[in-house]
Amino acid sequence: MISSSQTPPQDFLAGPNGLMPLPPTDYAALPLYPDEDNTHCIEIALGIAAKKAGILAAFARAFDMPRWFGHNWDALYDCLTDLDWLPAGDFVVLLSGSIANAQDRATLVSLLEEVCDAWQARGVAFHLFIDPALIEGA
């Protein structure tokens, strides 16, 4: 579920997993658990009008995905709901940029919502701050 942009970021981080629209210019001011060693802060910059291959490559780099990552939507979901190659912990993802294709945009947002739900079911925090341009297709 995409949270309201009216929710304060600290309340979003303390609540259930999800996506929250937030301009990348506001990322630096986020309270990203500076005193906790078990929180991964992952930054993904897609650039302007990213295409599917670039989106998948950006996620693969940001999460240091294994060589077997298949560079398709199913493989992205599988890897993002596993992450066993990374140390255990919570995740805060800062996603910026825009996506050229409306279908790719919808697929990615839906996939990320499912990833948040999967981690929520396991009791692991997985919060995404997402560039409004990505959601709106700007």
The pLDDT of residue 114 is 98
- C-alpha to C-alpha distance for 94 and 96, rounded to whole angstroms: 7
Radius of gyration over every alpha carbon of the chain, rounded to an integer in angstroms: 14
3 is a domain residue = no
55 is a domain residue = yes
102 is a domain residue = yes
91 is a domain residue = yes
Which tokens sit at 55?
């989106």
Least Cα distance to 78 among 50, 111, 110, 117 occurs for: 111
4 is a domain residue = no
**Per-residue pLDDT tens listing for the chain (138 residues):** 565 556 778 888 888 999 999 999 988 888 765 556 678 889 999 988 889 999 999 999 999 999 999 999 999 999 999 999 999 899 999 999 999 899 999 999 999 999 999 999 999 999 999 999 888 765
Residue 121 corresponds to which amino acid?
A
Q: What is the CATH number of the domain that holds 49?
A: 3.30.370.10
Structurally, the chain folds into a number of domains equal to 1
- C-alpha to C-alpha distance for 79 and 33, rounded to whole angstroms: 24
Owning domain of residue 30: 9-136
The pLDDT of residue 138 is 53
Tell me the backbone φ, ψ of residue 45, rounded to 5 degrees: -110, 110
